[in-house]
Structure 1
């Protein structure tokens, strides 16, 4: 076996490497203890994943959508609101078509604006029921006009959902589930 050689390397932190291995300087030991102490670790809420700009953008998107829906429905002519609800079954859809059919004929522009904003809001925030809204468009507007309305609304809602998810979703998933994210990234790479 060869004789151990003595090599001395000094870094800015005071780390000295000698013949048998490494020896940490006093400053490095103190830094290591500070990093491991519970008081130096921040809680999850102190390490919030969004910048102020991202958080403000997410809140403002929600409030803009909500305010727009409120203003549209507030300015609509009076109707029997007790009978209006998001359809969950096909029979609910038939009842809603009967109640909205005359309203859609009397106020077509306001009805289409309300329908489109509701559909885009539901699609953006992934609220269940857009399939019934699609069927309702076909029932109220006919197949061709309903198809164009549904394609436009689904595309606009899915696009806004994607951009909102990209803005908020990526940092949120990284913050809440970092181990699972690393596992799935490792699975995809392999």
Structure 2
């Protein structure tokens, strides 16, 4: 009877090994795992990304073709302060004559750039201040930035995990660890990140759903936390002639103010930690 029993044990071990191999093959890669150099998205994920991009592109195109005629050859996305001054001069009369249509086109462009992480939204924020003033410009920038960040959040929720693991593995591990330590006061911590330049906003947008930050916390922290930096940028748009480069926006004094405001948001966390010690 010993032989059959040993055979049964061997068969059981083989099945356990096979199951373990299947589990390891189907399991998702942990957060922060480096990829082997291959493009991280599967065929299905790539199809979703292309489909979403096409949808947004067609919607943006439809907005532009319904706008009143303009000399679009003079209009391009600015890449420097000098480009922004030229764009502002070309758009000033147009934005005043067709304000509603222009705002629709401006918002669509800003949200598109924010959703797909296209650099240049800081120039769009400066343009808002130059064309609309501080109050209206600030409302437009905060609304567009929050809407675009929310679209980026949901897009990343669908296809973002392998892409973020591929691009920022170490930063993602750090972010995951920090979020895990601050679950009880997550809104305060997210406000601190949004107000201060501790982590890039683009990274926060795509990494938040991956580290399980609830959407209501994400959107509230974005809406409130972007106000101070947006105000600084929009206000600077009123004096484009005095601005030499984007770096002039955030000097030491400005950064110190942002960190001071951000520290207020995490003060309850520090106070609670001292009480528990």
**TM beyond 0.5:** yes
Q: Once superposed, what is the RMSD of the aligned Cα atoms? A: 3.6
Deviation at 1:159, TM superposition (A): 1.1
Structure 2 match to 1:14? 11
Deviation at 1:133, TM superposition (A): 0.2
Deviation at 1:101, TM superposition (A): 0.8
Pairs aligned (count): 153
Structure 1 match to 2:113? 122
- After the TM superposition, which of the residue ranges 101-110 and 114-123 deviates more from structure 2? 101-110
Alignment partner of 1:91: what SS?
helix
Alignment partners' CA distance in 2, 1:87 and 1:113: 19
Structure 2 match to 1:73? 64
- Maintained 8 Å contact 1:97/1:136: yes
143, 146, 159: which is aligned to 2:137?
A: 146
Bigger CA radius of gyration: 1
Quick check: 1:164 aligned with 2:161? no
Structure number having the greater helix percentage: 2
Alignment partners' CA distance in 1, 2:173 and 2:41: 20
TM-aligned CA distance change 1:12 to 1:112, over 3 Å: farther
Gaps of 5+ in 1: 1-5, 16-23, 36-43
TM-aligned CA distance change 1:135 to 1:10, over 3 Å: same
Per-residue CA distance 1:73-107 (angstroms, 9 max, x = gap)? 11222211121011111121111111101111111
Per-residue CA distance 1:28-79 (angstroms, 9 max, x = gap)? 5xx98xx8xxxxxxxx9xxx86584x55543332122100111111122221
TM-aligned CA distance change 1:162 to 1:81, over 3 Å: same
> What aligned pairs does 1:51-62 form with structure 2 within 5 A after superposition?
52=44, 57-62=48-53
TM-score, normalising length: structure 2 = 0.47
Structure 1 match to 2:246? none
- Maintained 8 Å contact 1:50/1:168: no
Q: Return the structure number with greater relative CO, CA threshold 8 A, min gap 6.
A: 2
TM-score, normalising length: structure 1 = 0.66
Deviation at 1:171, TM superposition (A): 3.8
Gaps of 5+ in 2: 22-35, 181-277
Alignment partner of 2:123: what SS?
helix
TM-aligned CA distance change 1:82 to 1:12, over 3 Å: farther
Alignment partner of 1:85: what SS?
coil
